[in-house]
């Protein structure tokens, strides 16, 4: 991937993960990646409309998934898509926790482990420093 494409995706995302909203300020702890929203193995292209800026944790946990199982309803649902879905329609920040507002948000938050203890610890620290 070209440096120019990487820069465009990063700037569009405001230098933060488009899934967990973690700012790139902690990139030394978690490198950031160009993430294929629709993975190449499912026919996704390496083009601006199909790329998201993601922390390494979100990128690894999402993997080639396009969907996940809603932990409440046990239904298979499409994951949050940062190019088609508005983050604030599906999630809200409650101090350091990311609270899902929809079934799609709940499925994505569960699969990408938004509120695991390590992530809560990092977001708490960023909040205390006024960086989140």
Q: Which backbone phi and psi does 115 adopt, to 5 degrees?
A: -110, 30
Residue 33 in 3-state DSSP? Answer: strand
What's the pLDDT score for residue 131? 85
DSSP string, 85-129: S-HHHHEEEETTEEEE-SHHHHHHHHHTTTTSHHHHHHHHHHHHT
Question: From residue 47, how far is each of 38, 59, 111 by CA, in Å?
Answer: 11, 17, 25
CA–CA separation, 131 vs 43, rounded Å? 37
Reported as a pLDDT band with limits 50, 70 and 90, residue 27 is low
pLDDT, one tens digit per residue, over 63-110 is 999 999 999 999 999 999 999 999 999 999 999 999 999 999 999 999
- Asked if the model's pLDDT at residue 52 lies above 80, the reply is yes
pLDDT, one tens digit per residue, over 38-50 is 999 999 999 999 9
Domain boundaries, the chain: 3-128
Q: Residue 50: which of 74, 78, 81 has the closest Cα?
A: 81
Secondary structure element (H or E) that encloses residue 76, with its range: strand 76-78
């Amino acid at each position: 991937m070209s440096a120019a494409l990487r820069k465009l995706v990063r700037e569009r995302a405001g230098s933060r993960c488009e899934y967990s909203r973690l700012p790139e300020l902690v990139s030394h702890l978690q490198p950031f990646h160009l993430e294929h929203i629709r993975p190449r193995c499912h026919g996704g292209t390496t083009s601006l409309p199909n790329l998201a800026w993601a922390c390494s944790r979100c990128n690894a946990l999402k993997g080639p998934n396009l969907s996940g199982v809603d932990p409440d309803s046990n239904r298979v649902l499409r994951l949050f898509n940062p190019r088609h879905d508005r983050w604030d329609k599906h999630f809200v920040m409650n101090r350091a926790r990311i609270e899902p507002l929809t079934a799609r948000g709940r499925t994505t938050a569960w699969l990408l482990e938004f509120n695991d203890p390590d992530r809560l610890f990092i977001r708490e620290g960023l909040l205390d420093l006024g960086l989140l």
